[in-house]
Structure 1
Amino acid sequence: MKILNKAGIIFSCMLLIIASLTGCASTQGSKDDKNKQQSVEKVKNINISYVKAPLNVPSIIEKKKSLFENEFSKDDIKVTFPEITEGSKMTEAVAAGSLDFCNAIGATSVIMAAANGVNIKIIGMYSRAPKAFTIMTKNPSIKTVSDLKGKKIAGPKGTILHQLLLGALQKENMKIEDVQFVNMGIPQGVSALMSGSVDVALVAGPAVPQALEKGARIVTTGEGILDASIVIAARGDFLDKHLDIAKRYMNVHEKSLDFMKNNPEETYKLASEETNISIDKVKEMYNWYDFNPQITDKDIKELEKTQDFLKENGMLNKTVDIKTLVKDITK
């Protein structure tokens, strides 16, 4: 009888232990579910930069088709699109915590910001468009890059266009000291070229066909010199807390690319309406762009080349490990 009692007690204890463990697992499971819910609930607003020029078609489609709003409204997350067109201003907003995603930003701006301590990460490629970046002139004596020696050249310093100029000069065994470089924005540079106050202008995007219509010529494009990498970047601490949101963000971006592929005519029409560029010009420029968001080994090398360019030209004192700057969530 005592043996039976002991066996019963042991059996009862085992049941209690199993129940306890099951309860713990259930509690842990519910905690995990709760944490996942909180990850979404903590995000009330997402701020995504909106830059439509030179021809940022995926951004235009995402905005016009409300793709981000459709995705994040499921969790009552409000999406706003501040129009910040300068890369340096975008990284300042990231540093201040007021911008979560830079939907199209020059790699130069991201590298410079990261080197100066801004917690920012590259999460995908936005575009590669070497043909969209040009060196232009109206001077009949300038036919090749070697003819630029001693000429006055206007363009924005520390940008892809500046990098294009230096790369083009380097191919001809020339340096920036061999020309008169004037730091100037693209519209101002084109105006200076048209008025004859500079010999050459560094021109990109829709300003290229506009300058061609006014009589300018292309001396060279970025083809064979650089990839002209535009990237998608995100606030580092936002990624740490909300990687799931960032992955959903990239999924939406992929949807915009699918739309572009499956609806070309509507894509051209929307891009034309948003940029005030004729549909014919949009079609011409569209072919200049590679919008594949995957980050390749070649992209990494281009980013490293960009950092070398910045350092060699005195725009960067510190450097960053490009591979740690990249957090590829497109895979």
Structure 2
Amino acid sequence: MKKRIVNFMSVILLVIFLFSFSVSTFAAQELERLNISYVKLPLNVPSIVEKEKQLFEKEFNPDGIEVEFPEITQGSKMTQAVAAGSLDFCNALGGTSLILAAANGVDIKMIGVYSRAPKAFNIMAKDPAIKSTADLEGKKVVGPKGTILHQLLLASLVKNDLSLADLEFVNLGIARGISALLTDSADAALVAGPAVPQALENGAHIIESGEGLLDATIVIAVSGEFLDKHPAVVERYLKVHQESLKFMEENPEETFAMVAEETGISEKDVEKMYAWYDFNPEITESDINELKKTQNFLLNNGMLSQSIDIKSLIVE
């Protein structure tokens, strides 16, 4: 009798194993393609390593899953692609874009932090007489509206007992903003990433960075529908991201050379800027508070009509 029971249980376990294997195999076959956004600037080192080392391909191609990297550099277009079902993962999405998308009904979830880089976001001036944000009263400042840089400007103004009404703010992209600054068409510009050392080389100076004012949180996000259908794939995605971070830590020189080649930034500037970034993907209470600050910025400036529960966006 005991032998029959043992044999029966063995058969049951075998059936369960075979069923589980067939289900996982079917799930892998059902998923034919992964679409992961690729943004290399301002200095998205993990994305560059993942792409150049083909880490995602090595993880998913053996299961018959193709991996594509659409270059979508604007956060709003990234979240639009998620809403349309043409993008699965947002690899490097601004916290601002995450909140705006979710508030407008896009099914999107945050699964990690991509980077924090307060030193990479700056207010710059060319006139030596402009030494701080306090000196911008009545001046013309240019930069991209509704971004981390715009948030930095407002936070810096508050710190100096000023408001946006105390200066002339013009909505311009970073490249055009620097051009305006260097040709004396603007008194200050909002500058980020590789444009910072370039502006420094051309005579500009930093009057304020994000340090102490904001963390400049960039997140990793996924389509909520995709997460529901393929949670195991999302876990594997995060595993690959960890592999890229490990490679960066163990091979700094190769990493700097790879990033310089991909971005056209000198290795010297890559190494300098790399020190500004924290790529730890763990979501901390500080990150959540930073996203809440970002939401308040959007609400106070009329870019968001109602608040949402930030924690509801997070899936760890």
Instruction: Give how far 1:33 is off.
Output: 3.1
Amino acid at match of 2:289: K
* Contiguous gaps of at least 5 residues in structure 2: none
- Asked if 1:327 corresponds to 2:315, the answer is yes
Among all aligned residue pairs of Structure 1 and Structure 2, give the percentage whose two residues are the same amino acid: 59
Instruction: Give how far 1:318 is off.
Output: 2.3
Higher Rg of the two aligned structures: 1
Q: What's the RMSD between the two structures over aligned residues? A: 1.7
- Asked if 1:35 corresponds to 2:23, the answer is yes
The match for 2:251 is 263
Instruction: Give how far 1:142 is off.
Output: 1.1
Conserved? CA contact 1:116–1:318, under 8 Å? no
Deviations 1:77-133 (A, max 9, x none): 100000100001100100000000111111100110000000011110010000000
Instruction: Give how far 1:37 is off.
Output: 2.0
Change (3 A) 1:33 1:309: same
Structure 2 CA distance for aligned equivalents of residues 198 and 148 of structure 1: 11
Between 251-260 and 139-148, the greater mean CA deviation after superposition: 139-148
The match for 1:292 is 280
Structure 2 CA distance for aligned equivalents of residues 319 and 303 of structure 1: 12
Structure 2 CA distance for aligned equivalents of residues 288 and 22 of structure 1: 57
Structure 2 CA distance for aligned equivalents of residues 25 and 57 of structure 1: 45
Alignment of 1:1-331 (within 5 A): 27=15, 29-328=17-316
Amino acid at match of 2:266: S
Counterpart secondary structure, 2:113: strand
Deviations 1:224-252 (A, max 9, x none): 00000011111110000101001101110
Deviations 1:215-272 (A, max 9, x none): 1110010000000001111111000010100110111010011101111110010011
Instruction: Give how far 1:30 is off.
Output: 3.8
Counterpart secondary structure, 2:312: helix
Structure 1 CA distance for aligned equivalents of residues 146 and 200 of structure 2: 25
Structure 2 CA distance for aligned equivalents of residues 186 and 141 of structure 1: 22
Change (3 A) 1:254 1:19: closer
User: TM-score, with normalisation over the residues of structure 1?
Assistant: 0.91
Deviations 1:19-78 (A, max 9, x none): 999877765554333222222221100000111101111111111111110110120110
* Contiguous gaps of at least 5 residues in structure 1: 1-10
Give the number of aligned pairs.
314
Between 33-42 and 70-79, the greater mean CA deviation after superposition: 33-42
Between 295-304 and 137-146, the greater mean CA deviation after superposition: 137-146
